[in-house]
Each structure stands twice: as C-alpha cells, then as structure tokens.
C-alpha cells in the first residue's frame, strides 16, 4: 500500500499557539512513518501560513518561523486541488494530501474556521466538523444545548458587553437573581486555556471579572461556583465512540488558571481519578452522550466536576482538539486505557478517512 500524505497544521492565530506547537511536536514524533508521509504547515501568531521544513526542536521553541526556506503555503478551498498550494517566486506547485491533522487549539483552529475550509475543500481531516467545533468552542451554546439534552451543568446565565455597558446595575442584578450566591465563575464564552476566566467573590469582583472577560469575547458566561474534583474523560470515534478511563487534575492554584495549566510544576494529574467505580461508569456514559449530542467526531476531551458530598456529575466543557503534548491528559488517558500514541494517531487518521464530509 502506498504511503498516505498527511498534512499537520500547527501554531495558529490563537492565545494557545505555543501549546499547539508542543501538541504538533508530539504528533510528528509519534506518527507512523512507515504508513504516512508528513507535510508540515506552520501558521504564525499573526496568521501567516508556511510550508515548514524545521525540525521538532525549532517547532517547539518557535524558531522555525525564522527559516529562510519557509515558503507561503495554504490549503486550497477548490475541491479539484485536494491539497496545498505552495508559492515560490512567481510560480506555484501543489502537494496533494490524503488527510489533514489541524493540531490547533482555541480561536482560529478549534472553533470551526479551519474545519470549514477543509469541508469546502473536501479534504478529510482529523477531529470534529465545523458545527461541532464551533458550538463546543462557545461555552454559552454548549451549556444551552447540553442542558436541553438533560446533561447536568453548573447553574449558569450570560450577558453581553453591550448589555453590561448599557446598564451595569441592571445586568449585575439579573446575574445575581439568576445565580444566587457568590462566588461565581465568569468566563468569556469563547476562549480557552483559562484566559479571561475569574472567580468573583462579591459584586465589585463580578464587575471586574466581566470587564476582563469582555476583552476576550463580547459574550460572557457566568456560573455558580462548584466545589469538587475536576475530572476529564477522553473520547475517540465517529458514530460509535469509545471513552477512556477517567483522569483527575489537581490544580496548584485556587482554580485551574493559565499559570496552573502551563507554568506551574505543582499541578498534578491522577490517572485514574480518585473517584469510585460507579461514578466513573456514569461519567463515561455522560461523556459519550454529550459527545453525540454536540455532533462530535474523531476526538474530544470532556471535562467535568464531581461535586463534593453529593458526588453529582456536572459537565464543564468539551475540548474538540484537546492538548496533545507528551504530558497532556488526552494521550495519557488513552495510553492508560491501552492505546499508545502511535496507534491513537493512526486511529484518528482512519476515523478522518472514514467520515463522509
């Protein structure tokens, strides 16, 4: 069988650009080279696309951007191209691709934008499609859809920059009426890596928290504060997905903020999570139900809280292209479930090729 051409897209105009470079490095290192030729496309933080010849080290540290042999390259939306257009001087060439792995986190990558382009181009790609990527990226939409499907969530409400700026008093009163007690969690509806997320302990902190959140997105989600464990379940598959065992995160800070996620050495992952087997079984079923309700395919990581005392399972969010670094929960959870990283990537590519766009 001839080798398939797989394009790995990394970086991106996103606040999670650096994490994407590390996730891509893990995939580049572990993809089966006997089955796949790998083509690398790097997107800079400002949104420039290049065919990248850099090695893994230069991708991790970002120095690939300074290479003189970087050529502008992009996916053609034209279905007859089925690949990447590479520009050199006044000429262009085409590299055909069999599938794309958009290893992009957050805005402009995990939110349906790239997925839409690949759907237009009719090029198979790993992960959720346009609609499920876009709705999972938006926390308000996710909450509305999942609540409608009977999946338990923290009590929530939402506001917009426009309403908040028009009448702060009215806006705050409505939030207090809907949520009840402080503390509350305030989040930009569409963001990631805890950017713009704050815990508000009183009215004046709530006002500050909304001001912070609206810098990231004009739509803002407000939730009751949940006391409990944070646990995560990895899902793999299209119409008949499987769930991994459940992992737990123990943030080093008061909550899992940016520092605790990426900078602190003190945040811990436990695989399996410290939860009893019945809770784990129920949670895995809920994770699959939510994955299907959102129309996910390929992969996602479904994040939950297990509430103290009651052991209530509350869904927090779904990440359609979760961190895929060597120390990330997603590959680790499947590793612990008996699927090594090379097999996992192979499965993901097969799922992409199987799906009809």
Ligand X SMILES: Nc1ncnc2c1ncn2[C@@H]1O[C@H](COP(=O)(O)OP(=O)(O)O)[C@@H](O)[C@H]1O
* Contacts to ligand X by CB under 6 A: 154, 185, 187, 191-194, 197, 223, 225-226, 230, 251, 255-256, 303, 316-317
Q: How far is the CB of 336 from ligand X (least distance, A)?
A: 20
Q: 179, 132, 133, 136: which is closest to 159 by C-alpha? A: 179
* Residue with Cβ nearer ligand X (119 or 225): 225
Contacts of 153 (CB under 8 A, 6+ apart): 143, 146, 147, 223, 314, 315, 316
Pair of tokens at residue 249: 């995160």
CA dist 251 and 268 (Å) reads 6
Q: How far is the CB of 153 from ligand X (least distance, A)?
A: 9
CA dist 298 and 126 (Å) reads 6
Q: What backbone phi and psi angles, to 5 degrees, belong to 249?
A: -115, 140
Q: How far is the CB of 250 from ligand X (least distance, A)?
A: 10
* Residue with Cβ nearer ligand X (316 or 320): 316
* Residue with Cβ nearer ligand X (129 or 317): 317
CA dist 113 and 76 (Å) reads 14
* Residue with Cβ nearer ligand X (248 or 303): 303
Residue 190 DSSP one-character state? B
Residue pair 163/222 in contact (Cβ under 8 Å)? The answer is no
* Residue with Cβ nearer ligand X (81 or 225): 225
Pair of tokens at residue 175: 């939030």
* Residue with Cβ nearer ligand X (19 or 73): 19
* Residue with Cβ nearer ligand X (195 or 349): 195
Residue pair 5/96 in contact (Cβ under 8 Å)? The answer is yes
* Residue with Cβ nearer ligand X (11 or 192): 192
Q: How far is the CB of 334 from ligand X (least distance, A)?
A: 20
Q: How far is the CB of 305 from ligand X (least distance, A)?
A: 6
CA dist 143 and 50 (Å) reads 37
- Diameter of the chain by CA atoms? 67
Q: Which residue has the tokens 């970086």?
A: 11
Q: How far is the CB of 199 from ligand X (least distance, A)?
A: 7
Q: How far is the CB of 342 from ligand X (least distance, A)?
A: 28
Closest residue to ligand X, judged by C-beta, is 256
Pair of tokens at residue 22: 């590390």
Length of the chain counted residue by residue: 357
Q: How far is the CB of 251 from ligand X (least distance, A)?
A: 6
Q: What backbone phi and psi angles, to 5 degrees, belong to 270?
A: -120, 125
């Amino acid at each position: 069988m001839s080798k398939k051409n797989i394009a790995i897209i990394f970086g991106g105009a996103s606040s999670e650009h650096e994490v994407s470079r590390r996730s891509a490095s893990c995939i580049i290192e572990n993809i089966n080279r006997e089955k796949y030729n790998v083509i690398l496309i790097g997107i800079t933080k400002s949104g420039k696309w290049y065919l990248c010849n850099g090695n893994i080290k230069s991708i991790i540290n970002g120095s690939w951007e300074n290479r003189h042999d970087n050529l502008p390259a992009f996916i053609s939306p034209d279905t007859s191209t089925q690949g990447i257009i590479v520009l050199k001087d006044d000429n262009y060439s085409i590299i055909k691709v069999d599938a794309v792995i958009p290893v992009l986190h957050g805005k402009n990558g995990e939110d349906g934008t790239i997925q839409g382009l690949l759907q237009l181009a009719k090029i198979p790609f790993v992960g959720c499609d346009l609609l499920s990527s876009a709705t999972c990226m938006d926390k308000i939409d996710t909450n509305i859809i999942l609540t409608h499907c009977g999946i338990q969530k923290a009590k929530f409400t939402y506001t917009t920059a426009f309403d908040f700026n028009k009448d702060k008093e009215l806006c705050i009163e409505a939030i207090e009426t809907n949520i009840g007690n402080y503390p509350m969690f305030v989040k930009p509806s569409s963001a990631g890596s805890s950017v713009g997320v704050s815990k508000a302990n009183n009215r004046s902190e709530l006002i500050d928290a909304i001001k912070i959140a609206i810098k990231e997105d004009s739509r803002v989600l407000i939730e009751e504060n949940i006391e409990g464990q944070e646990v995560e379940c990895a899902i793999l598959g299209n119409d008949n997905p499987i769930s991994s065992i459940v992992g737990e995160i123990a943030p080093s800070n008061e909550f899992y903020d940016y520092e605790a996620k990426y900078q602190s050495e003190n945040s811990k992952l436990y695989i399996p999570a410290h939860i009893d087997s019945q809770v784990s079984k129920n949670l895995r079923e809920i994770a699959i139900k939510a994955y299907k309700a959102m129309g996910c395919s390929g992969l996602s990581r479904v994040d939950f809280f297990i509430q103290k005392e009651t052991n209530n399972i509350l869904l927090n969010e779904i990440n359609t292209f979760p961190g895929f670094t060597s120390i990330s929960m997603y590959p680790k959870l499947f590793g612990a479930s008996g699927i090594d990283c090379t097999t996992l990537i192979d499965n993901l590519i097969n799922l992409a090729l199987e799906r009809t766009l």
